[in-house]
Structure formats: structure tokens, C-alpha cells
């Protein structure tokens, strides 16, 4: 998982977050409200139960 950070809320890719933030800034500048409907999911399980593997499989990352 190079380029990702493990955070208390999950896994985040800093470059992706930066891109989404820039897109939101552009949409705000042109007056579009809530243009990006981001998916929201929760994966729950005990430690080492494969939560990260499930998320990585969903987004197509190894």
C-alpha cells in the first residue's frame, strides 16, 4: 500500500484527498453545491479479519 496512510478512520491516499479538495474548490468557485457524491461505507470486524483487504478489493488496489 505505498502512498497511503493508516488513520484511525481508515486508509487515505493524500494525493486523492488533495485532488478532491481542489475539485470541491473549483465547484464552489463556479457556484455548484455538493457536486461530488462520495461513497460512504463501513467495514467492521476484529483485528486481522481482512477489513483492509475487502476495501482494497473494492477499489481495485493490491
Distance CA 60, CA 13 (A): 14
Span 20-61, pLDDT tens digits: 889 888 888 888 776 677 778 888 999 999 999 998 888 887
Residue that wins the pLDDT comparison between 18 and 62 = 18
Distance CA 9, CA 22 (A): 22
- In a 13 Å sphere around the CA of 53, the CA atoms on its Cβ side amount to 5
| pTM: predicted TM-score of the whole model, two decimal places | 0.40
- Beta carbons of 1 and 11 less than 8 angstroms apart: yes
Amino acid at each position: 500500500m505505498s502512498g497511503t496512510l493508516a488513520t484511525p478512520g481508515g486508509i487515505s491516499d493524500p494525493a486523492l484527498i488533495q485532488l478532491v479538495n481542489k475539485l470541491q474548490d473549483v465547484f464552489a468557485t463556479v457556484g455548484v453545491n455538493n457536486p461530488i457524491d462520495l461513497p460512504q461505507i463501513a467495514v467492521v470486524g476484529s483485528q486481522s479479519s481482512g477489513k483492509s483487504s475487502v476495501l482494497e478489493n473494492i477499489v481495485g488496489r493490491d
